[in-house]
């Protein structure tokens, strides 16, 4: 019996040892895999290369900061973004950001984890936070997005050299003064909201006074077109105090005072600074693209667009360059007059303007969109014969409400716009690949024809069969 017990004990010990050894080996292999992946990531990052990742990336997603592209190999937009994405990785070589990409057709688990619904999708991962990029797919814009997201919503400018580096962004918002004021709290609230699109800084009055003459403390400025412009609006706290004083004065004049209305809770949308940032977040003469169009329309101004056409090298003809320069001349000479009411810009893609006007515009041209009513205005004169004086008369007539307006947001206009965009899309498809377009349109039409033919022919065949049966019965009788 003792020998049997000893044998059983040795056998149990052997099994336990083997299980423990197997578990430790699995842990070692897993740890080694993670270490190897991390070393490869570090090596690729130091070389400025794009990391080709798989579903093994998921356990590492919260380690550090990631700029990710989720793509599909068959996607045309993904192929167009590929060389740009490599340049993005090279531009961020010194930043603590890992640039990677995932083929969502091979690793669907990753696509499900991040809720990917379209390709390509660009995201910035920072711990538990995930930010989706919605701007233009250019190297400059994507790199600026990554640099904004890698830091806090409000980045502090410590010295004159930091200020000069911030000016390289060409447009940013800056707060100067104590960081313990209600104005800074409002500024920080807006900075968190606009972090994906705008640079927000804070700076001491000593550094700021070297660039502008400070008349208020604290104060907020926007830097654009190489000039600092101040925020002269009423802050949210001042607006609430004035509303409270107005309520008290009304109570004094009434016999039976009413209960004061509760103060509206502070959110980024009801702050005074939000409307100002939304209106001032573009330079005087911005390039209008599809990625910026919705934000430009959110300015609640008349959007004036010089409609031009760029070639594949992003160049425009001398004639269009002269037209663009004439528009810029009018803007610069009348900035104080028009800045509050108009946001000026130009586009090198006529398709965007044609979609708004619902017609093919001649080039060059001038289009003015009312961002509130979605109506648009076109000059009555031939655009190529426009002069600076004629442009000013045209803009003044829009402000006076005398210029003819077209379009709008009624259901009839929306229906016609859908028809125009569908027709334009089919035309572009036919010009690009007529064979594929014919196949895509021909197959559904062929199936529909077969269905209708079978439905119609079924009635005819039934009628012929009934006639044959009647003739057979008549002959039999």
Query: H-helix or E-strand containing 343?
Result: strand 342-347
* Contact by Cβ (8 Å): 401, 352: no
Residue 334 exposed, middle or buried by CB count within 10 Å (0-12, 13-18, 19+): middle
Q: How many CA atoms lie within 13 A of 52 on its CB side?
A: 5
Calpha distance 339→261 (Å, rounded): 36
Q: Enumerate the H helices of 358-410 as residue ranges.
A: 388-399
* Contact by Cβ (8 Å): 148, 195: yes
Q: Examine residue 364 and say whether the peptide bond preceding it is cis (omega within 30 degrees of 0).
A: yes
Calpha distance 382→406 (Å, rounded): 17
Residue 187 exposed, middle or buried by CB count within 10 Å (0-12, 13-18, 19+): buried
Residues whose CB is less than 8 angstroms from the CB of residue 134 and which lie 6 or more positions away in sequence, other chains included: 196, 291
Q: How many CA atoms lie within 13 A of 109 on its CB side?
A: 7
SS3 74: coil
Structure tokens at 151: 């830091």
| Catalytic (active-site) positions | 75, 78
């Amino acid at each position: 019996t003792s020998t049997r017990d000893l044998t059983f004990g040795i056998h149990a010990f052997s099994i336990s040892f083997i299980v423990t050894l197997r578990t430790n080996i699995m842990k070692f292999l897993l740890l080694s895999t993670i270490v190897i992946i991390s070393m490869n990531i570090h090596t690729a990052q130091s070389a400025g290369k794009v990391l080709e990742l798989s579903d093994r990336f998921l356990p590492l997603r919260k380690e550090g900061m990631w700029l990710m592209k989720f793509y599909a190999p068959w996607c045309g937009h993904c192929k167009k973004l590929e060389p740009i994405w490599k340049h993005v990785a090279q531009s961020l070589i010194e930043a603590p950001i890992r640039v990677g990409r995932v083929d969502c057709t091979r690793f669907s688990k990753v696509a499900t984890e991040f809720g990917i619904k379209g390709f390509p999708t660009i995201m910035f991962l920072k711990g538990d936070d995930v930010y989706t990029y919605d701007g233009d797919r250019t190297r400059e814009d994507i790199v600026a997005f990554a640099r904004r997201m890698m830091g806090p919503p409000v980045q502090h400018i410590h010295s004159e050299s930091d200020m000069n580096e911030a000016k390289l962004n060409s447009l940013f918002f800056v707060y100067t003064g104590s960081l313990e004021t209600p104005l800074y709290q409002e500024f920080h609230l807006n900075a968190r909201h606009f972090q994906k699109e705008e640079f927000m800084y804070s700076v001491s009055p000593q550094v700021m006074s070297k660039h502008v003459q400070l008349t208020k403390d604290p104060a907020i400025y926007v830097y654009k077109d190489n000039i600092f412009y101040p925020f002269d609006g009423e802050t949210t706290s001042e607006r609430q105090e004035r509303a409270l004083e107005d309520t008290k004065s009304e109570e004094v004049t009434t016999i039976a005072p009413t209960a004061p209305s509760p103060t509206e809770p502070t959110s980024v949308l009801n702050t005074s600074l939000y409307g100002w940032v939304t209106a001032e977040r573009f330079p005087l003469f911005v390039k209008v693209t599809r990625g910026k169009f919705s934000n430009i329309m959110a300015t609640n101004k008349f959007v004036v667009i010089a409609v031009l056409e760029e070639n594949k090298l992003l160049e425009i003809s001398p004639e269009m360059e002269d037209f663009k320069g004439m528009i810029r001349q009018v803007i610069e000479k009348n900035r104080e007059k028009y800045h509050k009411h108009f946001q000026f810009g130009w586009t090198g893609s006529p398709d965007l303007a044609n979609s708004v006007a619902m017609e093919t515009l001649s080039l060059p041209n001038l289009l003015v969109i009312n961002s509130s009513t979605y109506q648009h205005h076109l000059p009555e004169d031939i655009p190529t014969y426009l002069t600076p004086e004629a442009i000013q008369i045209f803009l003044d007539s829009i402000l006076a409400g005398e210029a003819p307006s077209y379009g709008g947001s009624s259901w009839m206009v929306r229906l016609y716009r859908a028809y125009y965009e569908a027709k334009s899309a089919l035309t572009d498809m036919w010009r690009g690949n007529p064979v594929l377009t014919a196949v895509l349109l021909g197959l559904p039409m062929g199936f529909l024809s077969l269905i209708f033919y079978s439905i119609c022919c079924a009635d005819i065949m039934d009628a012929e069969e009934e006639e044959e049966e009647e003739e057979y019965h008549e002959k039999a009788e």
